[in-house]
């Protein structure tokens, strides 16, 4: 009975052992699967985290390159790289979603949302950068993109923490499962050798798995610590934390990975490497390192041997060895820094990948700082000459004024404008023009004290701040010095140029107590110098202000006069000897809301100086043709219309085309258009003038010489000129009635000469009956002047052209004959 | 949209086999103005209109001088010579019309990329270039109600 009971017991025990074994094995299998999941989540997650950070950093870096140029052709490749890095960020996020780790979903969504928000703002910045609106781009970048990025980085940190938590929970679960499996298997160990053997194996596997798990947990913790540090460093880089602070954080990484290790970092400053920080090194060694010559490495030569040799020797003196070093390069391959790690003798170097990561972070931090400094420099300096720009100059003037107030001294602002610089640009090209500006900048700096400031505030406009002056005479000395320096011949390649400049000077406190006022007054004084022929320095006087202010206001208003439809044409009738209407002269008038009616004598020369005369002249031509065509279409017998054309407009390359287009667009007969030009047209380039005239005459356009007798009239040329009419200048007509004045003889001669050449003669400025009688007696064909008709707007001309028309001003021209076209 | 682009590409293919190159006006994906009169195209490129109806700035993209697209811009859109065109832009700027934002891009692909990135951009490119990968993200504009390749399209 005993045996069967024992057998039953053994059988029962074996059965329980078998069940325990089966259950324990199943638990163990589950543990292995969970372990594999944990490993997969852990390693993939870790790779993705690293990749994510790298791509975020890459997108920032490539984007900052795009900001460093203004040419969209250069910006676009960088922007492509930025977008590609962003696409990889999204790819990493998709991969994170695919991991069997539901606990991270919330954090993943949060990061995704934050990153998408940042990308949206960054795309706006990209558009602004490409549009060329760098100022707004920088504003949006600072106000919106940077905060959005900070939020995204914070979300990334949370996500990483969530991944870590997930790994810890998973690890605890695996450990629990393994323990349960061990218990099941332990219960059965005594029942059968086979099961014991199996259990022994299971136990060994469990031990190995636990050991491996512990080791990987430790490595994971270290890697996570490193990642957190990297994120913190990257955040410091992206928020432009001070460079030494960032580099100190990077150098500190070395000490974390190797016992008693220390590190030192150098960064480029100009052409040399400059020591920045050292971490975990004794004071004496740090002092020795910082005292190494600043110019020990020329960044362009990239020869680091000497520096490395010095460091090796130094390390030896402190029982250390150089445990790894890296040259730091920017994206373009330029040497921008150096990293050196020190370890105790026999302590072993730093792991290669840690050193690589440190070098990468340090290079990013230095490059970012250099870029930031460059942008800051560009914001305050002129890109061509590297001189301070207007903003920085105003700032310096403000500082100088504060000092001058305190020390009761004078300060001067000089406004220098090159004379006829436009001609250099037009004739020799912008490259030579740019070289001239650079040379002018260099010369100005050379001839002034180091404490003075030279700035470029516009195309060819420079400003100078000279302070600590005792009297106005000191400022004038500076002005003369500047003129002398600039008038020295300038040899630029094959070109030998002789430049002159106009300079305006304003003084503190005499002419203003604010930078803006001083600059404006210096500018006005410069204008005055320029208007009087240039190549002089002029001190501001309040009277100058009024005259020049009027001119500046005219200039400002004139720019938009056409746009605001402020110009209009008046027409002054020309009357022939029979009293008939023989033509109309179109005269431009300008009525401005602020300035009132501005005389053409005042605004036309300014328009010529501003280069607006072409535009205004073209408008006059088109409007006259259009008005003439409207009169004809209305069935009025309009006479020919004369239009004054300036020499600059006439000699313009496309004057013929513009005139032809004005005629064609308005369907105005060419033979009804008379172009009035002055003799100066023929003085500069006779051949071109004749060519233009011939082309238009072939179309039927007629020509008159205006203000005849006042220029350098060449009588021998007159017979060769293809003109139909000459207009005697009003100055001769004015003196006609003065006996013995000589005008009478001259006019008689001009009339005879013109008639002998079959030219029509028009006398301008007829203001009295006596003048009219004399001119008729001399045989003058046509007269024009206030005595006959004042210039009148188009509707009044229409009344004149219809039967029952208005009488002339003098009421003395009887029987005005039907209109002659 | 996809079918419209495919149809356009097909029409372009046929048109290319039949005659001289034609040119397409392209704008940013978000731009609602996808049907313009030729006069409006002229105003956008010529600088007389510097803002889109939604208020954003117009950025006219031109190709480098000498390129077929630049010639087409001058001859068929603006009806000006190159110097007249430059002077016109200067005139607008000096007469208070504001600064005309014109960007010169070196290649057709770059022009498309620019338009892809800048919501206010408008460019004239050869229709053959629409098959480039860079031109995937831009909108083709109907000019006078026609797409490139259709009968009566004015820029061919």
CA-based nearest distance A127→chain B, Å? 4
pLDDT, mean over chain A: 82
CB A812 within 8 A of CB A790: no
How is residue A380 written in tokens? 């305050």
- Residue B61, φ and ψ in degrees, nearest 5: -100, 120
- Residue A675, φ and ψ in degrees, nearest 5: -95, 120
In chain A, where the domains are located:
2-237, 241-380, 390-540, 572-801
CA-based nearest distance A749→chain B, Å? 45
Distances (CA, A) of A382 to A81, A454, A455, B62: 29, 11, 8, 27
Return the residue of B nearest to A653 by Cα.
Answer: B83
Query: Which pLDDT band holds residue A814 (cuts at 50, 70, 90)?
Result: very low
CB A461 within 8 A of CB A384: no
Omega prior to A536 cis, within 30 of 0: no
Q: Which residues of A474-510 are buried (b: 16+ CB within 10 A; e: fewer)?
A: bbbebbeebbeebeeebebeeeeeebebbbbbbbbee
Bridge partners (DSSP) listed for residue A584: A573, A641
The answer to whether A76 contacts B94, with C-beta atoms less than 8 Å apart, is no
Residues of chain B positioned with their CB less than 8 A from the CB of A561: 95
Q: Per mean pLDDT, which range of A74-83, A232-241, A253-262, B65-74 is the poorest? A: A253-262
CATH code reported for the domain at A241-380: 3.30.450.40
Omega prior to A509 cis, within 30 of 0: yes
Which residue shows structure tokens 């039949």?
Answer: B18
Write the residue in B81, B106, B117 that is nearest to A130 by C-beta: B117
Do A390-540 and A572-801 fold alike per CATH? no
- Residue A367, φ and ψ in degrees, nearest 5: -65, -40
E runs forming strands in A699-750: 702-708, 725-728
Q: What share of chain A is helix, strand, coil (3-state, %, to 5)?
A: 60, 15, 25
The answer to whether B91 contacts A126, with C-beta atoms less than 8 Å apart, is no
Write the residue in A131, A560, A612 that is nearest to B118 by C-beta: A131
CB A318 within 8 A of CB A284: yes
Query: Which pLDDT band holds residue A654 (cuts at 50, 70, 90)?
Result: confident
Residues of chain A positioned with their CB less than 8 A from the CB of B59: 130-131
pLDDT at A621 over 50: yes
CA-based nearest distance A560→chain B, Å? 5
The answer to whether B83 contacts A130, with C-beta atoms less than 8 Å apart, is no
What pLDDT, on the 0 to 100 scale, is given for residue A444? 94
Query: Which pLDDT band holds residue A22 (cuts at 50, 70, 90)?
Result: confident
Neighbours of A565 (CB within 10 A): 7
Residues of chain B positioned with their CB less than 8 A from the CB of A459: none
State pLDDT tens for residues A111-161.
899 999 999 998 998 898 888 887 788 888 888 888 888 888 888 888 877
State pLDDT tens for residues A369-395.
888 888 888 888 998 999 999 989 999
State pLDDT tens for residues A507-517.
999 988 899 88
State pLDDT tens for residues B55-78.
888 999 999 888 899 999 999 999
Instruction: For residues B136-156, give the mean pLDDT.
Output: 90
CA-based nearest distance A559→chain B, Å? 5
What pLDDT, on the 0 to 100 scale, is given for residue A1? 41
Which residue shows structure tokens 């324990």?
Answer: A24
Q: Per mean pLDDT, which range of A566-575, A671-680, B89-98 is the poorest? A: B89-98
pLDDT at A46 over 80: no
Return the residue of A nearest to B100 by Cα.
Answer: A131
The answer to whether B114 contacts A654, with C-beta atoms less than 8 Å apart, is no
Structural domains of chain B, ranges and CATH numbers in brackets: 2-143 (3.40.190.10)
The answer to whether B94 contacts A131, with C-beta atoms less than 8 Å apart, is no
Domain A572-801 = CATH 3.30.465.10: no
Residues of A within an 8 Å Cβ radius of B: 72-73, 76, 79-80, 123, 126-127, 130-132, 559-564, 610-612, 615, 653-654
Using the Cβ of B79 and the Cβ atoms of chain A, whether some distance falls under 8 Å is answered with no
Residues of chain B positioned with their CB less than 8 A from the CB of A130: 59, 103, 114, 117-118, 121
Residues of chain A positioned with their CB less than 8 A from the CB of B112: none
Task: Report the percentage of chain B scoring pLDDT > 90.
Answer: 42
Domain A390-540 = CATH 3.40.50.300: no
The answer to whether B95 contacts A559, with C-beta atoms less than 8 Å apart, is yes
């Amino acid at each position: 009975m005993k045996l069967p009971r024992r057998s039953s017991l053994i059988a029962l025990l074996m059965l329980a052992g078998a069940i325990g074994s089966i259950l324990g094995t199943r638990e163990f299998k589950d543990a292995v699967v969970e372990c594999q999941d944990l490993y997969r989540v852990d390693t993939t997650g870790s790779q993705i985290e690293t990749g994510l950070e790298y791509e975020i950093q890459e997108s920032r870096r490539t984007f900052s390159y795009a900001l460093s140029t203004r040419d969209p052709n250069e910006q676009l490749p960088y922007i492509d790289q930025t977008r590609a890095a962003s696409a990889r960020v999204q790819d990493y996020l998709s991969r994170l979603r695919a991991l069997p780790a539901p606990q991270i979903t919330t954090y993943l969504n949060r990061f995704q949302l934050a990153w998408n928000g940042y990308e949206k703002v960054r795309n706006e910045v990209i558009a602004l950068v490409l549009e060329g609106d760098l100022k707004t781009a920088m504003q949006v970048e600072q106000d919106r993109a940077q905060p959005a990025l900070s939020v995204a980085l914070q979300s990334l940190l949370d996500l990483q923490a969530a991944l870590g938590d997930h790994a810890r929970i998973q690890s605890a679960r695996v450990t629990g499962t393994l323990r349960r499996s061990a218990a099941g298997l332990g219960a059965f160990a005594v029942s059968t050798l086979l099961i014991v053997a199996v259990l022994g194996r299971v136990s060994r596997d469990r031990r190995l798995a636990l050991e491996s798990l512990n080791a990987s947990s430790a490595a994971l913790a270290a890697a996570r610590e490193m990642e957190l540090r990297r994120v913190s460093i990257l955040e410091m880089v992206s928020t432009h934390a001070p460079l030494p602070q960032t580099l100190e954080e990077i150098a500190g990484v070395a000490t974390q990975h190797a016992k008693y290790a220390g590190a030192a970092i150098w960064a480029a400053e100009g052409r040399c490497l400059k020591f920045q920080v050292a971490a975990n090194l004794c004071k004496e060694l740090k002092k020795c390192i910082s005292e190494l010559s600043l110019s020990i490495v020329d960044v362009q030569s990239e020869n680091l041997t000497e520096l490395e040799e010095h460091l090796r020797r130094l390390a030896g003196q402190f029982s250390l060895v150089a445990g790894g070093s890296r040259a730091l390069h920017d994206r373009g391959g330029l040497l921008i820094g150096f990293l050196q790690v020190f370890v105790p003798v026999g302590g072993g170097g730093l792991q290669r990948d840690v050193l690589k990561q440190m070098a990468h972070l340090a290079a990013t931090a230095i490059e970012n700082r250099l870029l930031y400094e460059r942008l800051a420099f560009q914001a305050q300096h002129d890109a061509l000459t590297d001189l301070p720009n207007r903003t920085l100059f105003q700032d310096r003037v403000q500082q100088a004024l504060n000092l001058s107030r305190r020390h009761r001294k004078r300060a001067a602002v000089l406004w220098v404008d090159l004379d006829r610089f436009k001609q250099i640009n037009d004739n020799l090209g912008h490259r030579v023009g740019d070289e001239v500006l650079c040379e002018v900048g260099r010369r100005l700096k050379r001839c002034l004290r180091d404490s003075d400031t030279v700035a470029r505030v516009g195309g060819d406009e420079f400003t100078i701040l000279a302070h600590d002056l005792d009297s106005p005479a000191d400022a004038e000395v500076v002005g003369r010095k500047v003129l002398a320096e600039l008038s020295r011949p300038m040899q630029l390649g094959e070109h030998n140029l002789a430049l002159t400049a106009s300079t305006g000077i304003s003084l503190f406190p005499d002419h203003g107590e604010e930078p803006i006022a001083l600059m404006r007054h210096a500018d006005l004084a410069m204008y005055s110098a320029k208007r009087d022929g240039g190549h002089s320095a002029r001190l501001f006087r309040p009277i100058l202000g009024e005259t020049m202010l009027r001119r500046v206001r005219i200039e400002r208003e004139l720019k938009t006069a056409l746009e605001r439809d402020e110009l209009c044409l008046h027409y002054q009738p020309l009357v022939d000897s029979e009293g008939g209407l023989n033509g109309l002269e179109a005269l431009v008038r300008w009525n401005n809301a602020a300035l009132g009616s501005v005389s053409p004598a005042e605004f036309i020369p300014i328009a010529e100086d501003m280069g607006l005369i072409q535009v205004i002249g073209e408008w006059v031509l088109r409007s006259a043709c259009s008005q003439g065509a409207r009169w004809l279409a209305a069935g009025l017998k309009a006479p020919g219309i004369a239009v004054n054309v300036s020499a600059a407009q006439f000699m313009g390359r496309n004057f013929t085309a513009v005139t032809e287009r004005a005629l064609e667009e308005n369907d105005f007969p060419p033979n009804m258009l008379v172009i009035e030009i002055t003799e100066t047209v023929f003085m500069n380039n006779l051949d071109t003038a004749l060519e233009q005239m011939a082309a238009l005459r072939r179309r039927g356009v007629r020509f008159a010489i205006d203000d005849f007798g006042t220029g350098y009239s060449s009588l021998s040329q007159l017979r060769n000129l293809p003109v139909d009419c000459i207009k005697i200048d009003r100055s001769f007509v004015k003196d006609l009635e003065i006996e013995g004045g000589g005008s009478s003889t001259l006019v008689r001669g001009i009339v005879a000469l013109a008639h002998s050449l079959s030219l029509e003669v028009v006398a301008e400025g007829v203001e009295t009956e006596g003048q009219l009688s004399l001119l008729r007696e001399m045989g003058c064909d046509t007269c024009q002047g206030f005595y006959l008709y004042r210039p009148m707007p188009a509707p009044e001309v229409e009344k004149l052209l219809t039967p029952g028309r208005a009488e002339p001003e003098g009421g003395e021209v009887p029987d005005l004959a039907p209109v002659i076209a | 949209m996809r079918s419209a682009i495919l149809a356009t590409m097909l029409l372009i293919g046929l048109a290319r086999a039949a005659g001289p190159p034609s040119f397409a006006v392209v704008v940013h994906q978000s731009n609602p103005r996808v049907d313009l009169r030729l006069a409006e195209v002229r105003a956008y490129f010529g600088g007389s209109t510097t803002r889109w109806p939604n208020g954003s700035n117009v950025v006219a993209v031109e190709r480098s001088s000498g390129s077929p697209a630049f010639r087409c811009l001058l001859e068929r859109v603006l009806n000006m010579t190159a110097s007249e065109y430059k002077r016109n832009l200067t005139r607008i700027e000096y007469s208070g019309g504001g600064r005309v934002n014109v960007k010169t891009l070196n290649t057709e692909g770059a022009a498309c990329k620019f338009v892809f990135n800048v919501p206010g951009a408008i460019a004239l490119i050869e229709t053959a270039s629409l098959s480039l990968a860079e031109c995937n993200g831009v909108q083709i504009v109907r000019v006078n109600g026609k797409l490139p390749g259709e009968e009566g399209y004015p820029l061919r």
